[in-house]
Structure 1
Amino acid sequence: MSVSEGSVRGVLAANLKRVRGQRGLSLSELSRRAGIGKATLSQLESGTGNPTLETVLALSRVLGVPISDLVDGRPSGELTVVRAADVEALSGEGVDLRPLRRIESGDSVVEVYDQQFRTGGTQDSTGHIGTEHTIVQVGRLGVRVNGCEVELGPGDYVGFDASLPHAYTALDGEVVRSVLLLHYRAEQRLHVTDPGEAPSLRHEH
């Protein structure tokens, strides 16, 4: 089966292989640390797997790179227009996440996502690098961060350290549309297009 290099699967396959190589990790070791089956990782690296948001978040956390280092392959230009219909969504238990843009300025990196929470589900995260910012556009959103719960409506904003465990839930039986911004310091981001020297990965126990 052929895989488009510009598809989420194609971009993830190329980036995952590159980042894993730079981290000096075998498939078996990455499988153990991320809690993802070795066969699943092999399929992702060959472009035949079906990546979920949970899988990408786990890989982002273990490899210590922003999500965009794994799923973004679009070059920057003076004028960038991204049509929603042209962007594949990363789907999780309760959300469809569409990566729209990665912005680099000085020592900061900001990723911009269109975020749609489905009714009847909760999207949980055990945490990942960066600072998370969400602005609700449509619907009511329940947000839980490290045990603290808030409810947001249209126009409301929440921001927090994304390394903390957090969860989002669409309330009132409505689909929730929102904008997600993930902010990183530049030194947190591994430049996957530059092979360079393999950085070390701290052992997690």
Structure 2
Amino acid sequence: MDLRERIAHALRHERESAGISVSELARRAGVSKATVSQLESGAGNPSVETLWALGDALGIPFATLVDERSTAPRLIRVGDHAGVPSAAAPYLATLLSAAAPGTRRDIYLIQADPGEPRRSLPHHPGTTEHVVLVSGEALIGPSEQPELLHPGDYLCYPGDAPHVFEAQVAGTSAVLISELR
């Protein structure tokens, strides 16, 4: 199943499970009804922000809409993911593990280089983010008071408030766990 089909199937399933109409989901997510209809038919090409807004409106993690479920062991080696940060894209997030059905936890590998900070709007109420900095140096956490992290540092902060990830040196990487309670 390709990504558009996975999104279409997951979005329709989650919306119907929530017992809401296409119109109501569009209203809650702040997107057009046509966008939701296109995505559910597999015809849309959504941005990450659109999918995140839909996930928040449904009370589900972003990854629920895009991750391919499998029971086989999953190994991701350093060179296997989407690439390395660049001037054009100084921040990359690779989904390592989506939450299993009935749970609310996603694990990401973050790679970033200095440049424009990655500013995130609040996620679903009750979201908490956990970060372990693997390499480099970064300002991470609540937008109004991020912490400077060094390799091995751990930070936990509310993901349901504006937050930021700003690499201070090239080759910065971190493991981020987003959980919803």
Q: Shorter-chain-normalised TM-score: which range?
A: 0.7 to 0.9
User: 1:23, CA displacement in angstroms?
Assistant: 2.0
TM-score normalised per structure 2: 0.77
| Aligned residue type for 1:132 | E
Task: Tell me the C-alpha RMSD between the 2 structures.
Answer: 2.9
Indicate conservation of the 8 Å contact 1:97/1:115, yes or no.
Answer: yes
Aligned to 1:75, the other structure's residue is in SS state coil
Indicate whether 1:133 and 2:160 are aligned: no
Q: Deviations over 1:157-201 (max 9, x none)?
A: 2111211221212224x253211112234xxxxxxxxxxxxxxxx
Alpha-carbon offset, residue 103 of structure 1:
5.6
CA–CA distance in 2 between the matches of 1:46 and 1:88? 27
Tell me by how many angstroms 1:146 deviates: 5.3
Contact 2:107 2:175 in 1 (8 A): yes
Q: Find the partner of 2:95 among 92, 96, 99.
A: 99
- The secondary structure found in structure 2 opposite 1:148 is coil
2:57 equivalent to 1:47: no
Contact kept, 8 Å, 1:60 with 1:128, in 2: the verdict is: no
Q: Which of 69, 78, 81 is equivalent to 2:75?
A: 81
Tell me the residue number matched to 1:193: none
What is the Cα deviation at residue 67 of structure 1?
2.1
Counterpart CA distance in 2 for 1:16 and 1:48 is 13
Report the counterpart of residue 86 of structure 2 in structure 1. Answer: none
Return the letter of the residue paired with 1:121. E
C-alpha change, 1:119 and 1:42, in structure 2 (3 Å) is: farther
* Separation (CA, whole Å) in 1 of partners of 2:41 and 2:30: 19
Q: In the alignment, what sits opposite 2:160?
A: 163
1-side partners of 2:25 and 2:175: how far apart?
Answer: 31
Work out whether 1:36 is the aligned partner of 2:31: yes
Instruction: Give the unaligned 5+ runs of structure 1.
Output: 186-205
Name whichever of 30-39 and 159-168 sits farther off.
30-39
Structure 1 residues 126, 103: CA separation in 2 closer, same or farther (over 3 Å shift)? Answer: closer
Residue pair 1:6, 1:73 contacting (<8 A) in 2 also: no
> 1:100, 1:113 within 8 Å by CA — same for their partners in 2?
yes
Structure 1 vs Structure 2: percent identity of aligned residues?
34
Cα distance in 1 for residues equivalent to 2:45 and 2:74? 27
1:149 to 131, 146, 151: 146
Identify which of structures 1 and 2 has the higher relative contact order when contacts are C-alpha pairs closer than 8 Å and 6+ apart: 1
